[in-house]
Amino acid sequence: MLINFRKYRSVLLILLALLLVAVGASGLYGWHLYHEVEQRFSGRRWSIPSQIFSDALLLYPGMRIHRPSFSNKLHRLGYRPVKHVPRTRGEMRSTGTAVELFLHDLQLPDDRREGFAVRLRFDRQALVALTRIPSGAPLALVTLEPEQLGFFFGPEREKRELIAIDQLPPWLTGAVLTAEDSRFFEHFGLDWRGIGRAFLANLRSGSIRQGGSTITQQLAKNFFLTSDRTLARKWKEMLLALVIEWRYEKTTILEMYLNEIYLGQNGSVSINGIGEASRFYFGKPARDVTIAEAATLAGLIKSPNTYSPYVDPDRCRQRRDGILGVMHRHGLISAEDYDSARRADVQPAGFTPHPNAASYFVDYISGQLSELYAPEDLASLGLSIYTTLDTQVQEAAETALEKGLARIEAGMPGAVDPAAPREPLQGAVIVMKPQTGAVLAMVGGRDYRLSQFNRVVQARRQAGSTFKVFTYLAALDTHTPISALSNRARTYTVNGKPWQPRNDSALDTPVISLREALAKSVNRATVDLAMQVGMEKVVQTAELFGFSTPLEPYPSLSLGAVDVAPIELARAYCVFPAAGLLPVPIGLRDVYDENSQPLERRHMQVRRIIPPNRAFLMTSLLRSAVLQGTARGLADWGIHFPVAGKTGTTNNSRDAWFVGYTPDILILVWVGYDSGASIHASGAGAALPIWAELARAIPHQITGGDFGIPPGIEERIICSRDGFADFGGTCPETMPEWFLEKNVPEDSALFYHPDSVFKRLMQKFKGTVDDF
């Protein structure tokens, strides 16, 4: 039977026209997709969250180490215990007095090295030897990598470590191809066998159950499409796959895929890419995974939360072994490797939830970064942000504060019903390097989850007796540590109203030396000194230290009746151990881009505000506060190395302070209620024990050395009872005293007499009321 084409000519022409239109439309749409692919892949392919890192830790023979804190640090860095001598990166073995580590690779922008095995030998809290394994060669210094403190995520909250395909072992790429697309290098983006198989399965089920997607199609879907199972979405996916294959080489497509795929979840953060998954599941870079681990990772791609070794190890193993079998049949691994890999246990490295360490400090750094970078840049540019934080000091500060606050609450009057709702007691801690201003730790409150208010930076609390140091510093031009001050009750007129300072302790001696007055925090003697010096000079001296709070020349200022930010008070005290240099607090150190090129480098900023000899004399006075004064309780808390410092307690015990320092480190502790209610404790009783517990836990930051004596300081022997120089050698009890070179006592007629100071002062102080 012959077909009459003339009869169907018009129909054929219509069909041909429609076909041409469809081909033309597909061509135009393909051209559009080409530009869409080109634009998406030619720029930044992934938004890489910027990472915040702590400072690195330098290990060297002779340093002191708090072993429990050091063990916690190794755990946070991903070192996992093994029973054998460490053989691969991240393995660790403890053998009593020694710790053996196979170090991770160090990848700092200015310091890179491959990992190697090392043995650390301890004698109590001292690291006595550092040697290579197995040679035993001694090492002078080893750098332990920084810890991740946090990330700046975009809305997707994706975390990935980009890898280059030429750095991966062949069994890893082979395992992925085996699991997802064994004919990847044979097709042009579409695998018609797979499509036919999926078509028959979908036809039998009456719905879309299988997609038959190649790796290229999966890449197209992840980058450009939603996960909806529709024919229109599938058609676009196929066109995109063809465009991608036409535009890019196979190895480039595979590399993009390996960096893109979703492989699990760590809390609210998604694990994307083989590089990040290798670290999350096995604690090692992708280039170091074994054949068994490679097959495990490849098996996750199908359904990460179903086959996760953290969720269901047995199902994970079955999936892994199935992939290993196919790899063996296809000749990708030998029979020996196959048997060895199948016998290997499924042993994930273990993980901790996404780090939320040093949250107050991270917020502090974020505030500085917001002045330099937009939020979207921090969430996408993959910056590496290095800070000054010492995580061991941070951990010790958080622990000491929490234990100290709980201890105070347990001893509070009226705490009969622990279940009764009440305001939580709060505290703040900051630890700094005085000479550089580096912030080693910052705890802005008791629990960041309940309160993000950073009391170190944002709070303004009355300074109390910690502010007295500026009155004593202002007096050093005209007074010495043995200068006599009045401790008698006196009334001053302030703005036309009478004001009388009172002492906190029952110190009834009418006369007291300048050194003892500061050591014992005597209010009346301090105000007397301020009146002698002049309040204007006290204000001028305090203003040198950069307080943001306005300072008014009232007598109460000498006793600390002024609100200050704890970070500003800590900075001010840094001047004394730093030989008169006022540092700028530094938390942010360096910022590098994803190619390890520096974008921002912060150097220490200091300026001299007082001479070194005056700074030393103030330290000497504050040493007396620790040895004989209000901070003498430090010895009861196990602090026996040289410390200088000052306690502080405000009216009605609303605030409790202790600021203490060594030649190496300064620690400020504040305790109080946000509402200003009384804590029923002093600085010595509330803040000082927290300081001591923290200091004992960070021996690697405290050498135990004494304060150096600068030029311009002279020592003299004085009578300890009356405080005058023992020129005649007739004093039964003497003590050394420090003086500024220009203020050394020269009165050779002064000899020991028990009433000498008292008689002189009774002649000097005759009035009871001074007008201010």
Q: Which residues are catalytic?
A: 180, 465
Q: Which of 500, 469, 697 is nearest to 573 (CA)?
A: 469
CA 566 – CA 568 distance, rounded (Å): 5
Q: Which of 514, 499, 500, 559 is nearest to 535 (CA)?
A: 559
Asked if residue 462 lies in contact with residue 654, where contact means CB atoms within 8 angstroms, the answer is: yes
Q: Which of 142, 104, 135 is nearest to 120 (CA)?
A: 142
Burial of 558 (0-12, 13-18, 19+ CB in 10 A): buried
Helix (H, G, I), strand (E, B) or coil at 414: coil
- Other beta carbons less than 10 A from residue 14's beta carbon: 11
Q: Which helix (H) or strand (E) holds 667?
A: strand 666-672
**In sequence order, what are the residues at sequence separation of 6 or more whose Cβ sits closer than 8 angstroms to the Cβ of residue 315?**
306, 307
Q: What is the number of helices (H) and of strands (E) in the chain?
A: 23, 33
CA 663 – CA 643 distance, rounded (Å): 8
86 to each of 80, 117, 522, 717, how far by Cα in Å? 10, 7, 60, 60
CA 598 – CA 589 distance, rounded (Å): 11
Helix (H, G, I), strand (E, B) or coil at 34: helix
Instruction: Quote the DSSP letter at residue 411.
Output: T
**Can you read off the two tokens belonging to residue 261?**
């795929």
CA 596 – CA 598 distance, rounded (Å): 6
Helix (H, G, I), strand (E, B) or coil at 177: helix
CA 257 – CA 679 distance, rounded (Å): 59
Helix (H, G, I), strand (E, B) or coil at 356: coil
Q: Which residue type is seen at 441?
A: A
Q: 9-13: which pairs have CB atoms within 8 A and are 24 or more residues apart?
A: none
- Other beta carbons less than 10 A from residue 183's beta carbon: 13
Dihedral angle at the C-alpha atoms of 449, 390, 146, 456, nearest 10 degrees? Answer: 40
Q: Strand pairing of 117-123 and 98-102? A: antiparallel
- Strands (DSSP E) along 201-285, which ranges? 262-266, 269-272
**Can you read off the two tokens belonging to residue 589?**
């150190």
Exposure letters 29-40 (e unless 16+ CB within 10 A, then b): eeeebbeebeee
For residue 624, report the phi and psi dihedrals to the nearest 5 degrees: -65, -35
**Can you read off the two tokens belonging to residue 506?**
């029952």
**Can you read off the two tokens belonging to residue 680?**
């029923």
**Can you read off the two tokens belonging to residue 529?**
């000194």
Q: 732-737: which pairs have CB atoms within 8 A and are 24 or more residues apart?
A: 737/480, 737/481, 737/482, 737/515
- Other beta carbons less than 10 A from residue 312's beta carbon: 15
**In sequence order, what are the residues at sequence separation of 6 or more whose Cβ sits closer than 8 angstroms to the Cβ of residue 374?**
none
Q: Which helix (H) or strand (E) holds 648?
A: strand 644-649
Helix (H, G, I), strand (E, B) or coil at 446: coil
Q: Which of 256, 255, 253, 273 is nearest to 264 (CA)?
A: 273
Instruction: Give the per-residue SS3 of 157-170.
Output: CEEECCCCHHHCCH
CA 388 – CA 701 distance, rounded (Å): 13
